[in-house]
Amino acid sequence: MTVTSTDSCRTTCPYCGVGCGVLAQGGTTPSVAGDPAHPANAGRLCVKGANLHETTGHGGRLLAPKVAGRRVSWPDALTATSEAIRQAVAEHGPGSVAFYLSGQLLTEDYYVANKLAKGFIGTPHVDTNSRLCMSSAVAAHKRAFGADAVPGCYDDLELADLLVLVGSNAAWNHPVLYQRMKAAARDGRRVVVIDPRRTATSELADLHLSLRPGTDTVLFNGLLVWLADHQGVDQDYLSRHCDGYELALAAARDAAPDLGSVARQCDLAEAEVETFYRWFLETPRTVTGFSQGANQSVAGTDKGNAIINCHLATGRVGRPGASPFSLTGQPNAMGGREVGGLANTLAAHMDYQSEADKALVTEFWGSRQLADGPGLKAVDMFDAIHRGEIKVLWVMATNPAVSLPDTVRVREALKRCPTVIVSDCMADTDTTAYADILLPATGWGEKDGTVTNSERRISRQRGFLPPAGEARPDWWIISAVARQLGYGKAFDYQAPADVFREHAALSAFGNDGQRVFNLAGLATLGDDAYDTLAPIQWPVLDTAAGIVTGTPRLFADGVFCHPDGRARLVPIRTVLPVSQPDAQRPLVVNTGRVRDQWHTMTRTAKSARLLQHRAEPFIDVHPHDLQRFGVADQGLAVLENRGQRYIGRVRRAEGQRPGEVFVPIHWNQCYTGAGLASALTERITDPFSGQPESKYGLAALRPFPARWHARLLCRTGRPRRWKADYWSYVPLDHCDSWWLASETEMDWVGQADYWLGGVPQLVMSDPGQGRYRAARIVDGRLEAIILVDREVSRLPESAWLEACFSQDALSERDRRALLAARDSEAEDIGAIVCSCFQVGQNQIEAAIADGASSVAALGQQLRCGSNCGSCIPELKALVETLGEAVEP
Ligand SMILES: Nc1nc2c(c(=O)[nH]1)N[C@H]1C(S)=C(S)[C@@H](COP(=O)(O)OP(=O)(O)OC[C@H]3O[C@@H](n4cnc5c(=O)[nH]c(N)nc54)[C@H](O)[C@@H]3O)O[C@H]1N2
Ligand SMILES: Nc1nc2c(c(=O)[nH]1)N[C@H]1C(S)=C(S)[C@@H](COP(=O)(O)OP(=O)(O)OC[C@H]3O[C@@H](n4cnc5c(=O)[nH]c(N)nc54)[C@H](O)[C@@H]3O)O[C@H]1N2
Ligand code: SF4
Ligand SMILES: [Mo]
């Protein structure tokens, strides 16, 4: 990883909304490093960013267009696509065509898709996976400020004397921003983390409020009441700049009259609630960051407004170190909102509700049939598909078969839809399995355009690799289809810069200052200037002197985007999760992310290194619930909801609240047999934003009655879905591997060929112990090995075996050691904790036993934690738990 700024390409990380600058180099061995000149990260990268070069290989890529499973030429694929659309419109009207887009498209791709759908095909049914992600924050911003605008910037997270994080595990999900928050620690700076479970982020917390899920509005209503009762409200600010305070306060008093009531409803101690309230009261420089624990809720919009109410009441909006701050998830969640990719918005922060906006967009696009009202939001869209109302669905850069709630029904809908078009970089995903037409898109490193991060900062993604196979950029694919449909004049783009200029011009078109999203200063950007565009925060206005500058903060002057310029406090009632636990489904299922995986794993799982941190689908269970449900740490267990099963490895987790489990959202049917988190969540949505309540499902928990457990390692290229009740795929550097288990006995001797792809040469069978081990060796090379045991704890680690696959000829000593599965002379380093330096838990435990008493000491000795820092919370936990035990 030695990239210097002189010989490399400046681009932007394609993962989270922090939007870090990356210096990348192509060639046969691509490499990446953090860009020291990028304001978001100043050279830092987290473990996902630092391993980007391991994900750019062509393995698993979709390399050519396909129609009905057959490889076709681009002209044929474009004709099939445009004919399907043309026919649906002719027979069923424009509303029979739907687009499901993504915050992982570049702004240019997104703009062209939105324009084609809403402006030319004339369908309003354009929604995006941002519906599952940011739509509650969007709705809250619009209610409070009159526009979807984040007032603050990253510097504010550092400047704040009180940092409140609501439903955010930034340590894992916005790691570089978290590192910045951490580095800004100083005397008197305080951090409050509000999350039902203890996370890596709560390591930074001076106070962690592990509230009952879904009760955030009660906590913030209670805060408003407390501020009002303790002279904490800025009456002057309210009277000059805001409406709605009295009503909001009255509603808050109803919902959260006093400390005792808040503590009871949120299941917190009165003293901790009071501490939080006192700190908020005393600290003018307060930033409240909120993320999916707030947004993904039936009360998601209300949670956002309950938070913003407290900031408006104290005048803490858009000031240095004082703002509400929505942490966006995807690299271009914000860009999608700018172009208007959500079903209830039109384009460039203009809305269907305004006839003037519709006229402006019609004129600017030169469209003849603009969709004339809001379309279906994601969950409703898939319901309409299920009912047969949508004849053509075009999915781009998202994997709805995994990420939408109630995945069984989503899959039924995809199956029923007459034409499903999927644009993706990868060949095999749970969604591409339903595609009638598959269009190969260029991926990160191959494509060019812009993305906007959480602080409204627009950065360039630049290509430094040739396209994989016949892949094409998304904007190119959409424009080509538009031309076939007869809209050539409006889609005559030659390069992303053409699209960007048009997008910027639309934002400025007829914009008399009411639309805060305005890129007037970039509307005439030349091709060269676009290529060298430095990261810049919108709005970007043209100044009289011709100097183009960005805008770090909004609303500092107290002037907002509602027509009267005033902000609104919104009265918030308590709305709790619709279903509460009962005898059939006694547990609350919380879902979210892990440090080293990105969403449905299509990219991050290509890096063996990134799968080491968590290699299997898992279930975090409080010790009390381990006992209550009879499940064992490291054993397999089943979560069940209405016939849907999630099977995962149990992890004992003190940080869970009893009665609540946590499962990761990443695993899907390409990686495991039954590990879909969203199979356990339901189609319940926020009434204002339409965002699904993805953080809250209900389920029963029971042990998985395994008769045997196995680990299978094969040279690559073997079938992936095994005849086992539980299988989980873990690609390794030199081979593929699976964890396996089943409820029924297996005739190993008779079935060996099936598992190993041929007759094994080495066999060890001990039916009495439930043990079987066999290896297949061809021409001295290890082809496959399986290790079976009744107890999972007796299965050996696979690191040494994996290395055997890298050898062309096994030595006699290694051959003899195969079925023992370990080199008798090697050290077993244990599960990897530090991905950067490949340091295992056994090594760390040994170092602690030898006296390493701090994270810094471990770093000096083993290097762990000294690069990206993502594993520091885990190192700290190990030092804390084990360190005491070895104290004299
Ligand atoms: N490593 C990694 N990073 C990512 C991503 C990824 O896939 N992997 N995805 C990116 C994307 S698109 C997004 S949207 C962000 C999401 O970033 P985050 O929002 O930080 O991620 P989550 O893990 O989904 O959820 C955050 C927390 O919400 C808590 N929570 C659950 N219910 C409640 C509740 O009722 N109240 C409160 N206060 N908290 C609750 C959960 O316990 C969880 O710890 O991450 C981005 N970054
Ligand atoms: N239960 C539960 N469900 C959730 C969540 C949760 O916390 N809990 N979180 C929700 C949130 S916040 C989000 S953002 C979603 C994410 O969920 P998805 O959007 O479904 O997940 P991804 O894996 O990011 O899917 C992106 C797809 O686009 C492809 N791709 C990548 N780059 C490109 C490109 O440039 N062009 C094209 N055409 N394709 C590309 C990838 O290969 C991949 O197949 O999940 C949501 N679902
Ligand atoms: S923090 Fe986010 S944007 Fe930065 S390197 Fe990590 S994943 Fe990429
Ligand atoms: Mo997201």
**Centre of ligand 4 from the C-alpha of residue 347, in Å:** 21
Quick one: 169 and 302 in the same domain? yes
Reduced to 3 states, what is the DSSP secondary structure of residue 681? Answer: coil
739 and 853 belong to one structural domain? no
* Alpha carbons 610 and 752: distance in angstroms, whole number: 31
Number of residues in the chain: 888
Q: Are residues 379 and 294 in the same domain?
A: no
Report residue 517 as tokens: 């999203």
Ligand 1 pocket check: which of 13, 15, 16 to mutate, most ligand atoms within 8 Å of Cβ?
16
Residue that is written with structure tokens 């340590």 in the block:
171
Question: Would you say 756 and 784 are in contact if contact means Cβ atoms under 8 Å apart?
Answer: yes
Strand order in the sheet with 21-25: 9-12, 21-25, 31-34
Distance of CA 102 to the CA centre of its chain: 12
> Is residue 831's pLDDT more than 60?
yes
Can you give the CATH number for the domain in which 646 is found? 2.40.40.20
Same domain, 440 and 462: yes
Region of poorest pLDDT, from 44-53, 228-237, 344-353, 829-838: 829-838
Assigned domain for 545 exists = no
**Based on the domain organization, do 613 and 738 belong to the same domain?**
no
Q: What is the CATH number of the domain that holds 24?
A: 3.30.200.210
Between CA 311 and CA 714 the distance in angstroms is 57
Of 820, 846, 863, which closes a domain? 820
30 in any annotated domain: yes
Please give the model's pTM, rounded to 2 decimal places: 0.93
* pLDDT (0 to 100) of residue 544: 66
Placement of tokens 């290529």 in the chain: 531
Closest Cα to atom 6, ligand 3: which residue?
Answer: 46
| Ligand 3 near 465 CB (within 6 A) | no
User: Do 232 and 172 share a structural domain?
Assistant: yes
CA angle centred on 273, ends 268 and 275, rounded to 5°: 140
Number of domains in the chain: 6
Query: For 447-487, what is each residue's pLDDT tens digit?
Result: 999 999 999 999 999 999 999 999 999 999 999 999 999 99
- Is residue 449 domain-resident? yes
Residues 6+ apart with CB under 8 A from 552: 153, 155, 455, 537
Q: How far is CA 478 from CA 462, 467, 507, in A?
A: 20, 17, 21
Neighbour tally for 364: CB within 10 Å:
18
Q: What is the pLDDT of residues 398-411, one digit of tens each?
A: 999 999 999 999 99
Residue 729 and residue 758 in one domain: yes
Whether pLDDT at 2 is above 60: no
Q: Judge if 379 and 478 occupy the same domain.
A: yes
In the predicted model, is pLDDT for residue 784 greater than 60?
Answer: yes
pLDDT of 1 reads: 38
The residue ranking higher by pLDDT, 726 or 544, is 726
Say what the pLDDT of residue 221 is: 98
- Nearest-Å Rg of the Cα atoms of the chain is 27
Judge if 120 and 142 occupy the same domain. Answer: no
592/348 Cα distance (integer angstroms): 31
Rounded distance, CA 341 to CA 343, Å?
7
pLDDT number for residue 592: 98
**Residue appearing with tokens 């006229």:** 359
Neighbours of 383 (CB within 10 A): 18
Predicted confidence at residue 835, as pLDDT, reads: 79
Cα 245–chain centre separation: 35
Of the bound ligands, which one is closest to the alpha carbon of residue 603? 2
The answer to whether 182 and 204 are in contact (CB under 8 A) is yes
Question: What is the mean pLDDT of the segment spanning 765-775?
Answer: 92
Q: Measure the CA–CA gap between 843 and 856, rounded to whole angstroms.
A: 15
Domain stop point among 636, 667, 683: 683
pLDDT in tens, 128-183: 999 999 999 999 999 999 999 999 999 999 999 999 999 999 999 999 999 999 99
Residue range 366-395, pLDDT digits in tens: 998 999 999 999 999 999 999 999 999 999
The closest-lying atom of ligand 1 relative to the alpha carbon of residue 215 is: 35
Tokens of 570: 């919104």
Round to whole Å and give the CA distance between 457 and 536: 5
Quickly state the pLDDT bin for 887 (edges 50, 70, 90).
Answer: very low
pLDDT value at 888 more than 80: no
Q: What is the pLDDT of residues 793-829, one digit of tens each?
A: 888 888 889 999 999 999 888 888 888 877 756 667 7
Q: How far is the CA of 675 from the centre of ligand 4 (A)?
A: 19
In this predicted structure, what is the pLDDT of residue 241?
98
Mean confidence (pLDDT) of the chain? 94
Which ligand has an atom closest to residue 667 CA? 2
Name which residue sits closest to atom 17 of ligand 1, judged by CA.
173
Average pLDDT over residues 71-79: 98
Of residues 549 and 583, more confidence is placed in: 583
What number is the average pLDDT over the span 2-10?
Answer: 63
Query: Would you state the structure tokens that stand for residue 850, as one six-digit string?
Result: 């030898």
The 3-class secondary structure across 195-211, one letter per residue, is: CCCCCHHHHHCCEEECC
Can you give the pLDDT at residue 536?
96
Both 51 and 101 in one domain: the answer is no
**Residues 517-532: pLDDT tens digits?**
999 999 999 999 999 9
CA-to-CA separations, 862 to 429, 829, 855, in angstroms, rounded: 38, 12, 10
Residue 823 one-letter amino acid: D
In a domain, residue 430? The reply is: yes
**Where a domain ends, among 820, 841, 867?**
820
Of 54-63, 108-117, 541-550, the range with the lowest mean pLDDT is 541-550
- The CATH code of the domain that includes 843 is 1.10.10.1100
pLDDT(545) > 90: no
Evaluate if residue 598 carries a pLDDT over 50.
Answer: yes
CATH code: domain of residue 127: 3.40.50.740
Cα separation of 395 and 389, whole Å?
Answer: 16
Same domain, 47 and 81: no
Which residue's C-alpha comes closest to atom 10 of ligand 1? 329
For tokens 């703009």, name the residue. Answer: 111
Per the structure, the complete domain to which residue 25 belongs is given by 9-55
| Cβ-contact 710, 227 below 8 angstroms | no
**Domain identity same for 322 and 191:** yes
| Residue owning the nearest CA to atom 14 of ligand 1 | 329
Q: CB of 635 closer than 6 A to ligand 1?
A: no
Does the pLDDT value for residue 664 go beyond 50? yes
From 63, 104, 134, 685, give the residue whose CB has the most ligand 2 atoms within 8 Å, as the site to mutate: 104
pLDDT of 604-634, one tens digit each? 888 888 888 888 999 999 999 999 999 999 9
pLDDT at 886 over 60: no
Is residue 792 in some structural domain? yes
pLDDT of residue 613: 84
Domain-embedded: residue 662: yes
What CA–CA distances, in Å, run from 302 to 118, 248, 324, 704?
Answer: 29, 12, 14, 39
| Per-residue confidence (pLDDT) for residue 501, from 0 to 100 | 97
Burial (CB < 10 A; 0-12, 13-18, 19+), residue 547, is exposed
